[in-house]
Structure 1
Amino acid sequence: MIAILAAPTNLGLRPPQPGSVPGCAKAPEALREAGLHRQLMAQGAEDVGVVLPGRYVDDLTTNDGAGGSSTVRYRLRNQDAILDHATRFAARLEQLLAAGRAPLVLGGDCSLLLGAGMALARRGSYGLIHIDGHTDFRHPGNSEACASLAGEDLAAAVGRHWTAVADPEGTGASFAAQHVAHLGCRDDDEHLAEARGALGLVIPASRLRGGHDTSSIAAGAARALEVVGRARDGYWLHLDVDVLDPDHLPAVDSPDPGGLSLQELTELLTRLAPGAVGVQVTVFDPDLDPDGRYALLLADVLAVGLEHLAAGC
């Protein structure tokens, strides 16, 4: 049974402008208003509540000091609040998975992958299919701009980050890199080459797109399933909706051209969701959707694409 869990964190994102906070924390209720819960619950899903985040505070201390001096920083924006939320989120996921439920987590930003990885690592050895318009592979080894976990979640999930988020419980990386498949980044992604060398599979959106012909989607999904099928206990599905082209859904933190169509994403989810133990949906920003039109489109994609979540487990 699908268990719809809201996790409306915005803690892993940078402020959209000084003095403001990211709007993706509003996504679960915007999708509820758009009818997603009604559609899924009519098919037997249940609403299991919410894991609330702490207060968003832009507490980042930059490396640039007065007079050109600098300080070394080994923490993320909202790091303490992220770790607290991840711990509570992981506990809820463990409860749901132990009860035989298939979590459908409505975020929120991509920092949710930290808590999901913690929960799964406690249970066994899982793979990860990371569908995202970006590799999210920024980390201290390749960038001096590390600050926002939502753009660094995949690097942290495979152990390439500061210890606080790369190994939060002292047991190693949440996912073995060879059991991770990334789908959907753009060809000009800054960290594409490194991700390709580190992960089990990386397929950019340009290799998935095919207009009305879904053969590219089918081939990409089959390759991803082969990679995560090597993990002993199953796989988790991460979806950042900025994998969609902004012509179809611009209401995200970092829209980039060259993404998937609504039909292509629906087809991809239809092929990947049945074998997943759970899924998280991230980065939809209702503040950028004032009339709700994109929430309606996204709700329909998710209702169809995730209808058979965990059916094959």
Structure 2
Amino acid sequence: MKEITIVEFTSNLGLKEPQTGKEPGVNRLPDWLWKHNLHKAITPKNIVRLDPPRYSNIKDPQTTILNADSLVTYAREQAYLINNLISANKFPFVLGGDCSILLGTAMALKQKGNYGLFYLDGHTDFMDVSLSETGGTGGMIASIVTGNGHEKLTNILNLSPYIKEENLWCVGNREYDDEYENEIRKSSAVYLSLKELRKQGIKNSVQSFLLEVESKKLDGFWLHIDVDVLNDSVMPCVDSRTPDGLTYDEFNELTSYLFQSQKLSGLEITILDPDLDQTGEYTKEFVANITSTFNQNFNN
């Protein structure tokens, strides 16, 4: 069994300000999860933290993206850290932050070989920058890591694409809007909206993904978990709320199959904002579910 290292990427660089002059609170998520006993339940061998450059709400003129230069600087440091962990056969259990933390990890995966990405999220995050009103990379990061967009972000260290588009599985979106969904539909990624996931069945869907990882002889796969994939009634403390979402039963079933796979190289948890869960009730429930499912299934 691989040794687990909890990695704390305390970044909010990929999000817009929720209100003028106020930074998004997701950068405090690792400490918040510590407070609610995630670290204790996972029992990692080590805990490492990498803080990002300072947040700014000004768009980069070259790319029209918020914090573009800072994201590049941070991604290079993240990639170095994740690369070292994977090289040492450790399992990175990454706590964000917003979804832009995937950038450095995806670079590290490219440096290590050819990897798949299971992108479990209530949104596709496959938006073209021209469709983004905010300029936040959080909403376009799945597209960026598969090589789409300005090369300042897509081709750091000449590694583009970090993940091949056809090795991306985008699962759980429930923002049903043609203009939004067409971006992922016209790509070569596999797209399973929440409706489609339920229609095909969770077990069938995940088994199809795992079979593809094997048949393509991928070196492994990364699991991205944006907590907004969960039902809004059990996880409302996110920056972009949408009705419906996975129940904990569905979420636990889905993640259990992925946690069991020997090909799982690491995972990340993003977007839960402590500012939006003052009492911690939603966080407690999330920690109880994910830690128990992980501990029961990881490399067993």
Q: Report the CA distance shift for 1:144/1:247 in structure 2 as closer, same or farther (over 3 A).
A: closer
CA distance in 2, matches of 1:144, 1:152: 8
Q: Which structure 1 residue ranges, 4+ long, deviate > 6 Å from structure 2?
A: none
Q: How far did residue 306 of structure 1 move?
A: 2.5
* Offset at residue 304 of structure 1 (A): 2.3
Work out whether residues 128 and 228 of structure 1, in 8 Å CA contact, stay in contact via their aligned partners in 2: no
1:205 Cα offset (Å): 1.2
Give 3-state SS (helix, strand or coil) of 2:201's partner.
Answer: helix
What does residue 273 of structure 2 align with? 285
Is 1:164 aligned to residue 166 of structure 2? no
State the secondary structure of the residue aligned to 1:256. coil
Query: CA contact under 8 A between 1:129 and 1:228: conserved in structure 2?
Result: no
- Match for 2:229 among 213, 230, 243? 243
SS at match of 1:277: strand
**RMSD over equivalenced CA pairs, Å:** 1.9
Structure 1: distance between partners of 2:71 and 2:297: 27
2:206 to 218, 221, 225: 221
Structure-to-structure mapping, 1:172-191, within 5 angstroms: 172-186=160-174, 188-189=176-177, 190-191=179-180
Q: Would the aligned equivalents of 2:174 and 2:244 in 1 still touch at CA under 8 Å?
A: yes
Structure 1: 5+ residue stretches without partners = 62-71
Instruction: Specify the alignment match of 1:68 in structure 2.
Output: none
C-alpha distance 311-144 of structure 1, shift in aligned 2 (>3 A): closer
Offset at 1:117?
0.7
1:76 aligns with 2:65: yes
Which of residues 78, 101, 111 is equivalent to 1:122? 111
- Judge which range, 179-188 or 17-26, deviates more: 179-188
Q: Tell me which of 81, 85, 89 is aligned to 1:100.
A: 89
- Secondary structure of 2:158's partner? coil
Are the structure 2 counterparts of residues 87 and 255 from structure 1 closer, same or farther at C-alpha, using a change threshold of 3 Å? same
Supply the AA of the counterpart residue of 2:210: L
Q: Given the alignment of the two structures, is residue 194 of structure 1 paired with residue 183 of structure 2, yes or no? A: yes
Aligned residue in 2 for 1:64: none
**In the alignment, what sits opposite 1:67?**
none
CA distance in 1, matches of 2:197, 2:276: 27
Structure-1 residue corresponding to 2:123: 134
- What is the aligned counterpart of 2:35 among 33, 41, 57? 33
- Choose from 258, 270, 286 the match for 1:272: 258
| Shift of residue 17, structure 1, vs aligned partner | 0.7
> Aligned partners of 1:155, 1:218: CA distance in 2, in Å?
26
Q: Following the alignment from structure 1 to structure 2, what is the Cα–Cα distance between the partners of residues 232 and 73?
A: 35
**How many equivalent residue pairs?**
294
CA distance in 1, matches of 2:212, 2:188: 10
Gaps of 5+ in 2: none
Compared with structure 1, are the counterparts of its residues 195 and 164 closer, same or farther at alpha carbon in structure 2 (3 Å cutoff)?
Answer: same
Query: Residue 5 of structure 1 is aligned with which of 4, 7, 13?
Result: 7
Amino acid at match of 2:27: A
Which amino acid counterpart does residue 203 of structure 2 have in structure 1? A
CA distance in structure 2 between the aligned counterparts of 1:223 and 1:126, rounded to whole angstroms = 16
Q: As a proportion of its length, which structure holds more helix?
A: 2
Q: Deviations over 1:27-83 (max 9, x none)?
A: 111111111111111xxx22322011111111226xxxxxxxxxx742411111111
Worse overlay, 199-208 or 129-138: 199-208
Query: Structure 1's 158 and 201: CA in aligned 2 closer, same or farther, altered over 3 A?
Result: same
- Cα contact 2:122–2:175 (8 A) shared by 1: no
Cα offsets for 1:111-163 (capped at 9, x unmatched): 011101110101111111000110001124x5263611111100101111110
Q: Tell me, in whole angstroms, the C-alpha distance in 2 between the residues paired with 1:144 and 1:247.
A: 27
